[in-house]
Homo-oligomer: A and B are copies of this chain.
Amino acid sequence: MAGGKYLENLWYVAGWSSDLDPGDRVGRTFLERPVVLWRAHDGTAYALEDRCAHRAMPLSAGVVDQGAIRCPYHGLEFGGDGKCIRIPAQDRVPDTARVRAYPLVEKQGLMWIWMGDPGRADKALVPDYPIHENPAYAWRSAHFPVKGNWQLLIDNLMDLSHLPYIHANTIGGNPELHFKTKTRSEKLTNGVRVVRHMPDSVPPPTYVDAAGFKGKIDRWQEIHFEPINIRIHTGACDAGSGAYDGNREGGFSMLGFHGITPETATTTHYFWSMATNILDNGVPDEVFEQTARTFREDQEVLELQQFRLTQNPAAPMIDIASDVGGRHTRQLIARLLREEEEVAALVP
């Protein structure tokens, strides 16, 4: 558990673009630092330190006025670059009147923020998620507060062997089926890929409801981690129709995007979307609600886990066979944290 240590130099999901209309602002904490996200009236979104340079007042309690956000206490105004542009009853605005600006990029419905060294904030590195722009898919999104460390959420998503226990009533399916399924995990240059295939299996209720399978199915779970988001492609075709050879025409696909942004050592922002290929009128309420309910079941687990870990952080934990993907992920994160520490040590 790296509680309190965070990867700094990467793009984190800060929110959904739809969270902010022009003139809106919202205060959020990322990596233990308060940030105000706001959208100017021209449509541009910004991220600033959420603490006025004057008397520490949260700017997120203020108002957006055209291209600036105004502190609610004494009226100081800050532009998107963090510089104060107006101090009431004072002609000169000193250079010290500024708050930290965080690079923010909007892409494919997501707002991405860079909390680390601004000089390394390369927009070309913003993760790509074209599903959100693909007209063949319908999708819906959510923002869940999780009362657990970010690595617990990663563990949860990288090892789906918990499905028959935590989610027995929804997406779980037959426990024995899950036990027999081989989990393969592969280390990538900057990621981890986990694949589980369940050929010739009985479809779980969700699948039957959504896609109308009549017989057995070839089912797959493909999980791709890169720091720090996870894409999970689950789906199925009629058994024997060639899904594992790439022929997934006519099958059922659910594509989950999972943005995981640490809030504190024990709390996490969980931004997720669910896309599906098969439905004409968008993701129906019942499918979305069932997915949300499933993820809330996970949150209850993470909260209980975190409670025990906080009580006794030093107690040992053992790994089991299905942890292979999670373990690869932890190894990658540990390497990246070491690299960041080495770079930090070089700074004079």
Question: Which residues of B sit under 8 angstroms from A316, Cβ to Cβ?
Answer: 96
A317 at the interface (CB under 8 A from B): yes
Q: Give the size category of A's interface with B.
A: 35 or more
CB contacts (< 8 Å) of A179 on chain B: these are: 88-89
A55 touches which one: B34, B61, B155 (CB < 8 A)? B155
- Check B89–A161 contact: CB distance below 8 A: yes
A146-163 toward B: CB 8 Å interface, digit per residue (1/0)?
A: 000000000100010110
Q: Which of B55, B166, B312 contacts A317 (CB 8 A)?
A: B55
Verify B309–A56 contact, CB threshold 8 A: yes
CA gap between A71 and B164 in the complex, in Å: 12
Instruction: Please tell me if the beta carbons of A96 and B57 are within 8 angstroms of each other in the complex.
Output: no
Contacts of A165 in B (CB 8 A): 70-75
B89 and A301 contacting across the interface, CB-CB below 8 Å: no
Given contacts A50-B308, A58-B308, A94-B318, 18 further A-B pairs with CB under 8 A are A34-B308, A53-B317, A55-B305, A56-B309, A56-B315, A57-B301, A57-B304, A72-B166, A73-B165, A74-B165, A75-B161, A75-B164, A75-B165, A75-B175, A88-B175, A88-B179, A89-B178, A89-B183
A101 within 8 A of B: no
Cβ–Cβ contact A88 & B55, under 8 A: no
Collect the chain B residues with CB atoms within 8 Å of residue A307's CB.
58
If A74-B162, A161-B74, A164-B75 touch, whether A96 touches B318 (CB-CB below 8 Å) is yes
| Closest B residue to A93 using CB positions | B320
Chain A residues engaging chain B, CB cutoff 8 angstroms: 34, 50-51, 53-58, 61, 70-76, 87-90, 94, 96-97, 155, 159, 161-162, 164-166, 175, 178-181, 183, 301, 304-305, 307-309, 311-312, 315-322
| Chain B residues in 8 Å Cβ range of A321 | 87, 89-90
A226, B51: Cα distance in complex, Å: 30
Chain B residue contacts of A175, Cβ below 8 A: 75, 88
The reply to whether B318 and A72 form a contact with Cβ atoms under 8 Å apart is no
Are B58 and A320 neighbours in the complex by a CB distance under 8 Å? no
User: Cβ of A54: which chain B residues have Cβ within 8 Å of it?
Assistant: 317-320
Complex Cα–Cα for A165 and B52 (A) = 14
A312 to chain B, nearest CB (A): 8
A8 to B249, CA, bound (A): 65
Output the least CB separation between A1 and chain B (Å): 9
